[in-house]
Amino acid sequence: MKVGFIGLGIMGKPMCRNLLKAGYDLVVMDVNTESAQGFETVAMIAKTPAEVASLVDVMITMLPDSPQVKDVIFGNGGILTCGRKGLTIIDMSSISPIVTREIYAELEKAGIDLLDAPVSGGEAKAIDGTLSVMVGGKTEVFEKYYDLMKAMAASVVRVGETGAGNIAKLCNQIVVALNISAVSEALILAQKASVSPELVYKAIRGGLAGSTVLDAKAPLMMDRKFAPGFRIDLHIKDMNNVLDTSHNLGIPLPLSAVVMEMMLALKAEGFGHEDHCSLIKYYEKITNLTLGH
């Protein structure tokens, strides 16, 4: 099976490497040509999405947001311009489920299948191939490409029809954002009460408060390691999609709205490029404390 992969960013590069390890033949492409450096000897490098589409059986896109996905598919030199019927696109980007369904409707007219298959786990799990993949789309298409997705992931679950994958990802991002905020509040409380945040973390991680988010983010907060595994800017994008979707459905998500405002405040302070565990800095500012000091 020949696989196309568009989007060689923080997540895309290690995902490609895991596909290569699994023995897949790749054609890769990124608008930033420097991102393809290092793949010259192991994959074919294409210049346009249309070129990729003309050479492969299935395409994976891993892009920042809805506009980039639409451009790769419908834009100048985009996938549709190659006229390939029978192609499948697996969009592993995290985008609006409303846009996903719009894209699907247009691709269906062109005889192209679509799976929306956003991922969770960040750079670390992309590197070790243990991502969680949430998939929306036809059962038969999901089953056909299950092994391909599993080469990059520990978990690949079909959650429903087209758009369901991105709904699941938005649910994931709500839980992650609120969890990071809760961890921040707890560690700041410990600090203010003159109790070691590190010992509090060790004490609670084995109980009901324990979580993957707690274990992944609390040590980074305490060590003040804010290099991006998942940038605040990207989480703002996801929370914007959360709120747009909830408003479209007519339901309030008050906690999501509050954390969105916290992230926007951090972006205004110049921290948008940092990891989302930088939410601790919001609490540090409003309490005039610094974790670990």
Distance (Å, rounded) from C-alpha 119 to C-alpha 255?
23
Q: pTM for the whole thing?
A: 0.92
The answer to whether 2-161 and 168-287 have equal CATH topology is: no
Instruction: For the chain of 293 residues, list the mean pLDDT of each consecutive stretch of 10.
Output: 95 97 97 90 95 96 96 95 90 96 96 97 93 98 98 98 97 97 98 97 98 96 94 95 96 98 98 97 97 83
Q: What is the 3-state secondary structure (H, E, C) of the chain?
A: CEEEEECCCCCHHHHHHHHHHCCCEEEEECCCHHHHCCCCCCCEECCCHHHHHHHCCEEEECCCCHHHHHHHHHCCCCHHHHCCCCCEEEECCCCCHHHHHHHHHHHHHCCCEEEECCEECHHHHHHHCCEEEEEECCHHHHHHCHHHHHCCEEEEEEEECCCHHHHHHHHHHHHHHHHHHHHHHHHHHHHHCCCCHHHHHHHHCCCCCCCHHHHHHHHHHHHCCCCCCCEHHHHHHHHHHHHHHHHHHCCCCHHHHHHHHHHHHHHHCCCCCCEHHHHHHHHHHHHCCCCCC
Output the pLDDT for position 80. Answer: 93
Chain centre to alpha carbon of residue 109:
28
Task: Parse the chain into domains and list their residue ranges.
Answer: 2-161, 168-287
Backbone angles phi, psi at 159, to 5 degrees: -105, -5
Output the pLDDT for position 69. Answer: 97
**Two tokens, residue 120:** 């969770």
The radius of gyration of the chain from alpha carbons, rounded to an integer in Å, stands at 20
Supply the residues annotated as catalytic: 169
Architecture (CATH level 2) of domain 2-161? 3-Layer(aba) Sandwich (3.40)
Rounded to the nearest integer, the mean pLDDT of the chain is 96
* 168-287 carries CATH number 1.10.1040.10: yes
Contact criterion met (CB below 8 Å) for 91 and 73: no
Tens digits of per-residue pLDDT, 14-68?
999 999 999 999 999 999 988 998 899 999 999 999 999 999 999 999 999 999 9
Output the pLDDT for position 292. Answer: 85
- From the list 234, 102, 219, the residue with the least C-alpha distance to 163 is 102
Contact criterion met (CB below 8 Å) for 109 and 83: no
